[in-house]
Structure 1
């Protein structure tokens, strides 16, 4: 509900253009995003239940977890993105506060949005940083991130927008440097053979200023890059995607879209 309001008319226009270019059906897109979101939500909550009190969201964009998830007062959510992304999000938050119920059609849906916004108990910290540049780790630390305490770090829907492999591996190194023993690092990565390339090839992603610019050559390359950086307990999982084949949605695994998970288990 909050995510839809954050995205607004521009988000709906992008969805329609992506779909028209052959990217997916509305139902398939929604189901895939829900699956991915739930997957990372569950992992994040497991980390919090294990005592983790720092959540670091890389390329946070319009993420709503600080409001959606049952995070207590002792938890800090660090949202890292470029300044214009934070500015847009703040503007949308202000607009939602001022929205009249009639815009949503029902008073109930509007009340639920406001309850989400006003009910968050965790601390939320915005960090203005370009994740393709080398100094973002220092900016996170300057914002209050404690490198001596375990954290859950998430790179969801980020790596495909980085310029190249060198920048991606540089990001891995900075993440590793921020992680105390007992920390988690999770995210997703494109590898060669991604099934939804048609929409990107048709220029939809570029038109809306969000062209995909990087992918790994294989799942093994994702694992190798993480392990070479010093991560332990690296696991990969094929993402679930959904296709409409006329008689309903069909769920399948996508070798071209990988979820990864890594830990820092030691002082080394």
Structure 2
């Protein structure tokens, strides 16, 4: 499969460019969602991190300085709702995993492609939990330095693993003290579409190889989310940019995400010894008292699945 226009086999990024900028976008949505009435999430670190990255559009978004027309406000609200529900889903996954209702609690958690995820700082992890964050070195360094600068402290033992997922990340993880013989809670959130289909399979193979029985994994599956997100970013640019210029929305998912047919995640994991539950996204929204947005740009994502798997 050929790479998208903005990608190459050895590309890298910071949090203001390429795939890294999508992490900043997600953090901006989390920041806005945290200020809503009856919020689903509370992420006090999202806005400071976004401001530190310095992408004008996202800084204005978290500071309430965007002045969009009504149609554009609807697009931002829809994006914020999607990210809030997704964030809460993964929050609840981790907390249920480490608190162990009905099963022994898991003591180590791995956040793949952690980006500006602040769960290691904001979730109430039980004593003795070790959280591993894996991402590109520049991303890890930026987040760690920025949060230290505002006095934030992890609420678990945090071990960062500065490695590209295209490299031998299992070895790097184990070198940081990860125990393959102990159950693990894994997250692959907002990640799969930025991997070629064969790399998605390899990721799950690597996870399986170092997951002890009782390990749990949360992820998502989109039939062709690369194309769907490309449509969404094009719509946001149309609504906001008015010809471009300073502060314009410049992300184009079509240049970043790998579209095309993928192995269905539930089937792939089931065949490798995982007990899998996959639920449609509107059903997950309903669980949290939300309705999946009806905007045309998000319609292709209605068929996305929220996946939780347990290693047997």
* Same-fold status (TM-score > 0.5): yes
Distance 1:143 1:90 in 2: 16
Contact residue 83 and residue 129 of structure 1 kept, 8 A: yes
Residue 158 of structure 2, aligned match among 124, 133, 136: 124
Contact residue 99 and residue 126 of structure 2 kept, 8 A: no
Cα-to-partner distance string for 1:5-53 (whole Å, 9 max, x where unaligned): 1122645625869x99979622211111111111111111111111101
Q: State the TM-score, normalizing by the size of structure 1.
A: 0.75
Distance 2:213 2:148 in 1: 38
Residue 87 of structure 1, aligned match among 141, 149, 157: 141
Q: For residue 77 of structure 1, what is the aligned residue in structure 2?
A: 131
Shift, 1:223, TM fit: 2.4
Pick the structure with more strand per residue: 1
Indicate yes or no: 2:47 matched with 1:4. yes
Residue 138 of structure 1, aligned match among 155, 171, 174: 171
Distance 1:141 1:28 in 2: 39
Residue 222 of structure 1, aligned match among 254, 258, 265: 265
Contact residue 238 and residue 254 of structure 1 kept, 8 A: no
Secondary structure class of the residue paired with 2:264: helix
Indicate yes or no: 2:88 matched with 1:45. no
Q: For residue 206 of structure 2, what is the aligned residue in structure 1?
A: 174
Number of residue equivalences: 234
Indicate yes or no: 2:192 matched with 1:159. yes
Q: 1:22 to 1:212 in 2, by over 3 A?
A: farther
Q: Which has the higher contact order (CA 8 A, sep 6+)?
A: 1
Indicate yes or no: 2:81 matched with 1:31. yes
Distance 1:233 1:37 in 2: 23
Secondary structure class of the residue paired with 2:150: helix
Contact residue 192 and residue 217 of structure 1 kept, 8 A: yes
Secondary structure class of the residue paired with 2:213: coil
Q: For residue 230 of structure 2, what is the aligned residue in structure 1?
A: 197
Q: For residue 280 of structure 2, what is the aligned residue in structure 1?
A: 238
Instruction: Give the unaligned 5+ runs of structure 2.
Output: 1-43, 238-248, 283-291
Residue 304 of structure 2, aligned match among 242, 257, 260: 257
Residue 213 of structure 1, aligned match among 257, 277, 294: 257
Contact residue 234 and residue 263 of structure 1 kept, 8 A: yes
Shift, 1:57, TM fit: 0.3
Distance 2:114 2:219 in 1: 12
Instruction: Give the unaligned 5+ runs of structure 1.
Output: 98-116, 246-250
Contact residue 147 and residue 180 of structure 1 kept, 8 A: yes
